[in-house]
Chains A and B, each alone.
Chain A
Amino acid sequence: MTYSSERSREERRGFLDPRTKLALVLILALFVMGGLGGDQLKPIKTVLSALPFLLLLIERQWGRFARGAAMLAAGYGLLFLMPFLPGVLNYIALLCGGVLTRFVVTVVMGEYLIATTSVSEFISAMERLHMPQAITIPMSVMFRLFPTIGAEWRSIRRAMAMRGISFGGAKATQVLEYQLVPMMTSTVRIGEELSASALTRGLGGPMRRTNICRIGFRAQDCILFAGCLFVIAVWIMELCGVKLW
Chain B
Amino acid sequence: MVELRNVSFRYGSKGADTVNSLSNVELRVRRGEFVLLTGPSGCGKTTVLRLINGLIPHFYPGVIEGSVTVGGKSVPERELYETAMQVGSVFQNPRSQFYNVDTTGELAFGCENRGLPEDEILERIDGTVERFGIEKLMDKNIFRLSDGEKQKIACASADVGGAEIILLDEPSANLDHETTLALRELIMLWRKQGKTIIAAEHRIAYLWDLIDRAVIMREGRIAKELGGTEKDSLTDGELSAMGLRSITQEAPDGIALPSFKSEDTAITLRDFTFFHPGAKRPTFSIPELRLAAGEITAITGANGAGKTSFLNCLCGLEKRCCGTLEYDGRHYGRRARQKLCFMVMQDTGNQLFTESVLEEVLISLPKGTANEKERAAELLKALDLEGFSERHPQSLSGGQKQRLAIACALASGRKLLLLDEPTSGLDYAHMTETADLLKSLRAMGTTILVVTHDGELIRACCGRKLCFPPDRAEP
> Within A141-155, which residues are at the interface with B (CB < 8 Å)?
141, 143-144, 147-148, 151-152, 155
Which one of A151, A152, A194, A210 lies within 8 Å of B99 (CB-CB)? A194
* B101/A143 in contact, CB under 8 A: yes
B358 at the interface (CB under 8 A from A): no
Interface string of A192-209 (1 = CB under 8 A from B): 011111111111111111
Interface centre among A160, A194, A205 (most CB of B within 10 A): A205
- Contacts A/B (CB < 8 Å), 12 sampled: A8-B139, A118-B105, A120-B109, A155-B345, A156-B351, A159-B345, A194-B97, A197-B97, A200-B53, A200-B89, A205-B81, A213-B105
A interface residues, Cβ below 8 angstroms from B: 2-6, 8-9, 12, 63, 118-120, 140-141, 143-144, 147-148, 151-152, 155-156, 158-165, 170-171, 177-179, 181-182, 185-186, 189-190, 193-213
B185 at the interface (CB under 8 A from A): no
* B342/A204 in contact, CB under 8 A: no
B91 at the interface (CB under 8 A from A): yes
Bound Cα distance from A17 to B354, whole angstroms: 46
Task: Say whether, besides A155-B347, A204-B81, A163 and B100 are in contact (CB < 8 Å).
Answer: no
Shortest Cβ distance from residue B266 to the other chain A in the assembled complex, whole angstroms: 24
Bound Cα distance from A207 to B79, whole angstroms: 13
Bound Cα distance from A158 to B116, whole angstroms: 44
Which one of B60, B97, B129 lies within 8 Å of A3 (CB-CB)? B129
B157 at the interface (CB under 8 A from A): yes
B259 at the interface (CB under 8 A from A): no
Which one of B87, B91, B345 lies within 8 Å of A197 (CB-CB)? B91
Interface string of B85-124 (1 = CB under 8 A from A): 1011101010111111110110011111111111001100
Residues in B whose Cβ lies below 8 Å from that of A3: 126, 129-130, 135, 138
Residues in A whose Cβ lies below 8 Å from that of B55: 196, 199-200
Bound Cα distance from A179 to B350, whole angstroms: 9
Bound Cα distance from A178 to B394, whole angstroms: 12
Residues in B whose Cβ lies below 8 Å from that of A190: 95-96
Size bracket, chain B contacts: 35 or more
* B114/A202 in contact, CB under 8 A: yes
> Within B67-85, which residues are at the interface with A (CB < 8 Å)?
79-82, 84-85
Shortest Cβ distance from residue A216 to the other chain B in the assembled complex, whole angstroms: 13
Task: Say whether, besides A165-B353, A204-B81, A198 and B99 are in contact (CB < 8 Å).
Answer: yes
Which one of B81, B108, B121, B350 lies within 8 Å of A182 (CB-CB)? B350
Shortest Cβ distance from residue B120 to the other chain A in the assembled complex, whole angstroms: 9
Residues in A whose Cβ lies below 8 Å from that of B115: 207-210
Bound Cα distance from A151 to B346, whole angstroms: 14
Residues in B whose Cβ lies below 8 Å from that of A211: 112, 118
Task: Say whether, besides A6-B122, A186-B349, A196-B55, A120 and B108 are in contact (CB < 8 Å).
Answer: yes
Residues in B whose Cβ lies below 8 Å from that of A207: 81, 113-115
Residues in A whose Cβ lies below 8 Å from that of B22: none
Task: Say whether, besides A3-B138, A202-B81, A185 and B394 are in contact (CB < 8 Å).
Answer: yes
Shortest Cβ distance from residue B419 to the other chain A in the assembled complex, whole angstroms: 13
* A193/B113 in contact, CB under 8 A: no
Shortest Cβ distance from residue B447 to the other chain A in the assembled complex, whole angstroms: 16
Bound Cα distance from A140 to B100, whole angstroms: 9
- Residue of B at shortest CB range from A62? B278
* B96/A212 in contact, CB under 8 A: no
- Residue of A at shortest CB range from B277? A63
Shortest Cβ distance from residue A192 to the other chain B in the assembled complex, whole angstroms: 8
* B116/A210 in contact, CB under 8 A: yes
- Residue of B at shortest CB range from A214? B118
> Within B146-164, which residues are at the interface with A (CB < 8 Å)?
157, 161
Bound Cα distance from A177 to B278, whole angstroms: 33
Residues in B whose Cβ lies below 8 Å from that of A206: 81
* A193/B351 in contact, CB under 8 A: no
B327 at the interface (CB under 8 A from A): no
10 further contact pairs, Cβ within 8 A, besides A185-B394, A202-B80, A210-B112: A118-B105, A144-B100, A162-B341, A162-B342, A165-B363, A194-B98, A197-B97, A197-B98, A201-B157, A210-B118
B299 at the interface (CB under 8 A from A): no
Which one of B91, B111, B315, B339 lies within 8 Å of A193 (CB-CB)? B91
Shortest Cβ distance from residue B100 to the other chain A in the assembled complex, whole angstroms: 4
Residues in B whose Cβ lies below 8 Å from that of A201: 84, 88, 99, 109-110, 113, 157, 161
Residues in A whose Cβ lies below 8 Å from that of B442: none
